Amino acid sequence: MSNNLPPQIAERAAQWTKAPFDEATRQEVTEMLQNDPTSVTDAFYRDLEFGTGGLRGIMGAGTNRMNIYTVGMATQGLANYLLKNYGPKRQISAVISFDSRNNNTLFANTVAGVLSANGIKVFIFDDIRPTPELSFAIRYLKCQTGIMITASHNPKEYNGYKVYWEDGAQIIDPHDKGIIGEVRAIKHVDEVKIAINPKLVETIGAEIDDAYLCMVSSLSIRPDLIKKHHNLKIVYTPIHGTGTRIAPMALKKFGFDNIITVEKQMVPDGNFPTVHSPNPEEPAALKMAIEKAKATGASLVMATDPDADRVGIAIPDNKGDFILLNGNQTAAILQNYIITQRKAKGDLTGKEYIVKTIVTTELLADMAHAEGIPCYDVLTGFKYIAGMIRSLEGKQTYLFGGEESYGYLIGDAVRDKDAVSACCMIAETAAWAADQGLTMFDILQQIYKKYGLYLEGLISITRMGKTGAEEIAAMMDMYRHTPPKTIDGAQVLIMKDYKLKKSTNFLTGEVSAIDLPISDVLQFFTTDGSKITIRPSGTEPKIKFYFGVKGVSGSSDLTTAENELRLKIESIKNDMGLIK
């Protein structure tokens, strides 16, 4: 079978059947060569790409897979960059955390071994911890870097490796390019230092938990409301992830003492046995939690993903039926609460600002501008929100940041999306609503009536393997070089190409520069106010299409207006050939 493989792929695979690779790896590759040439191609046609956030891929043997060898080589590249950047005279330190995925401790210990072998001090958590706690720990321990072993909300076959810098944020320019260069310079596993130095490895746990939870509890704006509504019934599920212990602890420290958990999903398990996908964006992932809420009379459901940086919520509508809010709606409710309550307390100084990503609802910008608060757009990815926080530190005051993919950050002690603190603030918002005799659904309706009804949609198209990557690239080329003139009957007014860093007005012919980093993203704005964004995922084999449409403010019949906007989104999808 291996004779049918391209020579370069066959040669690369053959190397993995010999020393220095371990016996299990050799056997796995040998069996692939004998029985499954397609798997060999996908596992060896390239090196697993170390992107601007780190590694993410399917676990298994091969250069294009997550395993101790690809993790080790990436870590050696990171170590080389740290040593060059900080110099040999300084004691460099790193924090390592991991979520509940399979091979979590194997990969975390591999990272610890390589870093310590390179003379770098390592703090490693004693058990699973959320991504936001890792971000907090980097700043708390004054480390130069941090590594989180996670594939976020990806299916169980995946694992990943996210790199953070000394500010607690995921790496961005220039460090991302510098680390990538060093990782690519490692050509063979023999270049990896693996002789662990146990004197440089320290286990951490409870002290960081306590400091992190104290920080989270300090974010409360209206503890008086929580005291009045401390028995608010809240159903929470970590979907077998890192939130299992820390999120209920945070909610209780905030002041809520009626936390109802989904017991079957409170067990950390990398196979995620109760769900098809551990993604709180998917309705099926919240099914058990909603059933628990109905059975117990709870008024709020919250679910965090495996590394507890994203949170999805469900609330009763005006008929008492539970509905799932999308990430834009939750962000709007949170932002509305934070602004109105800080304004009521007189906490706003005029120097505050909001940050959102370019694919997130324009509702956040409209709400901020109505209060005279600047709202900055950044590229997709929370690291860019963190980058904005860093650039404005000491000049303006960060108030809130959010993205449509269920990520939010309150306060700036953490520099990544934080589902733990978001859960606490969502619960506080529910207490505020209850204090007015309202529901979270009522609050959302109030926002829509004041600012206009916004509705968003998303289509993700998955294309696996080498041919899939080529197909996604071809789709981007088509939209870039032959952009649509109309979308659903409305003329395309503006096209923004973030890869070429230019914005083109098709009516006037004016071309202006986009002052953001280069990114393979296209946006089309139509004359009827619709916004369509197209971008390949940076972490998954997908191309994503985001749709945003807006109705008028002040509408009394929001249900009819929402149905009209939903039909409009479907019409846009159909016009773009995305519905078959």
Using CA atoms, how far residue 229 sits from 213, 233, 434, in Å, is 21, 9, 8
User: Residue 565 maps to which CATH number?
Assistant: 3.30.310
* E strand or H helix that includes residue 173: none
- Concerning whether 152 is annotated as a catalytic residue, the answer is yes
Whether 245 is in a domain gets the answer: yes
Are both 420 and 490 inside the same structural domain? Answer: no
Choose the weakest-confidence range: 350-364, 397-411, 536-550: 536-550
DSSP labels, 497-525: ETTTTEEEETTT--EEE--S---S-EEEE
CA distance 338 to 85: 39
Q: Are residues 59 and 158 in contact, defined by beta-carbon separation less than 8 angstroms? A: yes
Q: Among residues 357, 578, 556, which one has the least CA distance to residue 457?
A: 578
Residue reference for tokens 């509508």: 317
Whether 12 is in a domain gets the answer: no
Mean pLDDT confidence for 545-550? 92
pLDDT reading at 580 higher than 70: no
Query: What is the model's pLDDT at position 1?
Result: 43
Catalytic one of 152, 220, 519, 530: 152
Mean pLDDT confidence for 14-19? 95
* HEC sequence for 211-246: HHHHHHHCCCCCHHHHHHCCCCCEEEECCCCCHHHH
Domain count, the chain: 3
User: Residue 388 maps to which CATH number?
Assistant: 3.40.120.10
Task: State the residue range of the domain holding 328.
Answer: 212-451
Query: What is the model's pLDDT at position 88?
Result: 75
pLDDT band of residue 522 (cuts 50, 70, 90) is very high
The amino acid occupying position 535 is: R
Mean pLDDT confidence for 544-572? 85
Give the predicted TM-score (pTM) of the model: 0.92
Peptide bond between residue 132 and the one before it cis (omega within 30 degrees of 0): no
Whether 93 is in a domain gets the answer: yes
pLDDT digits (tens, 9 = 90+) for 161-174: 999 999 999 999 89
Are both 231 and 157 inside the same structural domain? Answer: no
Mean pLDDT confidence for 95-116? 98
Query: What is the model's pLDDT at position 561?
Result: 87
Are both 508 and 464 inside the same structural domain? Answer: yes
Q: Which of 157, 177, 204 marks a domain boundary?
A: 204
Mean pLDDT, all residues of the chain: 94
Whether 24 is in a domain gets the answer: no
Residue reference for tokens 């690779």: 21
Mean pLDDT confidence for 276-297? 96
Are both 466 and 549 inside the same structural domain? Answer: yes
Q: Are residues 232 and 431 in contact, defined by beta-carbon separation less than 8 angstroms? A: yes
Whether 490 is in a domain gets the answer: yes
Are both 217 and 319 inside the same structural domain? Answer: yes
CA distance 204 to 399: 30
Are both 127 and 246 inside the same structural domain? Answer: no
Q: Which of 451, 468, 484 marks a domain boundary?
A: 451
Query: What is the model's pLDDT at position 537?
Result: 81
Query: What is the model's pLDDT at position 27?
Result: 96
pLDDT reading at 577 higher than 90: no
Are both 236 and 197 inside the same structural domain? Answer: no
Residue reference for tokens 């390949």: 536
CA distance 108 to 577: 44
Are both 243 and 189 inside the same structural domain? Answer: no
Are both 415 and 512 inside the same structural domain? Answer: no
pLDDT reading at 573 higher than 80: yes
Query: What is the model's pLDDT at position 556?
Result: 63
pLDDT band of residue 463 (cuts 50, 70, 90) is confident
pLDDT reading at 508 higher than 50: yes
Mean pLDDT confidence for 60-67? 96
Query: What is the model's pLDDT at position 392?
Result: 97
Whether 39 is in a domain gets the answer: no
Judged by phi (left if over 0) then psi (alpha if -120 to 50, else beta), residue 168 lies in left
CA distance 30 to 36: 10
pLDDT digits (tens, 9 = 90+) for 380-419: 889 999 999 999 999 999 999 999 999 999 999 999 999 9
Whether 40 is in a domain gets the answer: no
Are both 444 and 522 inside the same structural domain? Answer: no
Whether 17 is in a domain gets the answer: no
The amino acid occupying position 564 is: E
Are both 184 and 273 inside the same structural domain? Answer: no
Q: Which of 420, 435, 451 marks a domain boundary?
A: 451
Q: Among residues 441, 418, 426, which one has the least CA distance to residue 337?
A: 426
* E strand or H helix that includes residue 434: helix 419-435
Peptide bond between residue 20 and the one before it cis (omega within 30 degrees of 0): yes
Query: What is the model's pLDDT at position 464?
Result: 82
Are both 497 and 549 inside the same structural domain? Answer: yes
